Amino acid sequence: MARRSTKRPYGAEHVPLDVHRATGGRTVQDGPDGEWVVQRVRGGERDYRCPGCDQPVPAGTAHVVAWRTDDWRGSGVEDRRHWHAACFEARGRRGPTTRGAARRPTRGA
């Protein structure tokens, strides 16, 4: 029994590439605080702490993962942070908080 070809027939209409889907939903946003790569995610298996409001982003909650592309240190992806979507959009009106820095242990300490 011959197998059926899964290739697109020559006469069929071409399906355009969905760039949003191909890039994993990542976009680049310019703002007064620099250029950011932004990816909206459905939620993961662990909790994160939002740098905008210093509140937890619970596991399974849709949120934004963002990192700077124009960081002078060149660290980029290593410095990505998980933000509430509203906090990321409001980052120009309010900066990152450090309220929890005193109660959270630092790396290497």
Measured between alpha carbons, how far is 40 from 43 in angstroms, rounded to an integer? 9
pLDDT at residue 34, rounded to an integer:
84
Question: What are 12-51's pLDDT values in tens digits?
Answer: 787 787 877 777 778 888 888 888 999 999 888 999 999 9
Do 38 and 64 form a contact (C-beta atoms < 8 A)?
yes
HSE, CB side, 13 Å, CA atoms: give it for residue 34. 11
Gap between the Cα atoms of 19 and 22, Å rounded: 5
71-88 pLDDT tens trace: 666 566 778 899 999 999
pTM equals 0.65
How far is 7 from 1, CA to CA, in rounded Å? 18
